[in-house]
Structure formats: C-alpha cells, structure tokens
Amino acid sequence: MEVQVNMWAVLLATASSMVVGSVWYARSVFGNAWMKLAKIDPKKDKGNVVIPIITTLIVSFLTAYVLAHVAYLSNAYFDHSFLQDTLSTAFWLWLGLVAARFITHDAFEGRPAKLTILNIAHELVTLLIMGLIIGLMKY
C-alpha cells in the first residue's frame, strides 16, 4: 500500500500550529498564566526567538506529516469518512503520545499540574485543528 499525503494540507496544518500557539500563549489568553506557572520572567527572558520559532516550524511540520500519514492508514483500516478518521487519529495520538508523555515528564520535573493541563490542552487543540485541516483537504 502506498500512503498518500497531501503536502498542501500538511503545510497548512503546520501554519495552523503557529497560529494556535500565538493565540493560546498570547498574554490576554493564557500567556500570563503560562509565564507565571513556568516561572518565565518576560523582562529577563528576552533572548533570541528565531531558533525556537524555526524549531517549532520544523517540529510542527513533522507532527502534521505524521498525523496525515497515520490518518491515511487509519482511514484505510476503519473506512469511515477521512475527516472522522483523521480527527480520531489526532485525538488518540494526543492522548497516548503527547498528553501521557507531558504528564510523566512534568511529574518528575515537579511542574505544577495547572501548567501541565495548560500545555496538554494546547497540544490537543493544535492536533485537532491540524486533523480538521488534513481531514477536510484529504489526500
């Protein structure tokens, strides 16, 4: 079986993750709470943001590509609508690979539970929007 991935959908899903992150972590949304919980002082932490943004773009592209790839396989197996299988795949990948790992690492690092919830909720929204885009655009 040849897996078909719509690269335009992957690129749009990648861009969507940047939009979701920009809105989610805006000071007027969850940014102030996140900085407080993560102990980030915006006055002290004015480092170069280019490297984190480039890293985020690369990782978001990888995430969107893997989601599209696994969603295609899920759809081939379950044979529901592609949108349904993509959203379902996004949720299960989030639950088993993203949320579970965040919770484990944050527990060992002693991070506040509110920070963990804030971050894993962001990842859920990001993956579901990626799934929506990929699912609607198909392959």
Instruction: Identify whether 69 is part of a domain.
Output: yes
- pLDDT of res. 1: 85
Q: How far apart are CA 97 and CA 132, in angstroms?
A: 19
- pLDDT of res. 83: 98
Helix (H) or strand (E) run with residue 95 in it: none
Q: How far apart are CA 108 and CA 71, in angstroms?
A: 32
Q: Which residue has the tokens 């990842």?
A: 123
Query: What is the mean pLDDT, run by run of 10 residues, along the chain of 139 residues?
Result: 96 98 97 95 78 96 98 97 98 98 97 98 98 95
What's the number of domains the chain is made of?
Answer: 1
Instruction: Identify whether 1 is part of a domain.
Output: no
Residue 121, classed as helix, strand or coil, is: helix
Q: What size, in residues, is the chain? A: 139
Sign of CA dihedral 56, 58, 63, 65: positive
Instruction: Identify whether 91 is part of a domain.
Output: yes
Q: How far apart are CA 31 and CA 2, in angstroms?
A: 42
Instruction: Identify whether 2 is part of a domain.
Output: no
CA dihedral 123, 128, 131, 137 (to 10 degrees): -130
Instruction: Identify whether 58 is part of a domain.
Output: yes
Amino acid at 76: A
**Domain with 13 in it:** 7-137
Q: How far apart are CA 22 and CA 11, in angstroms?
A: 17
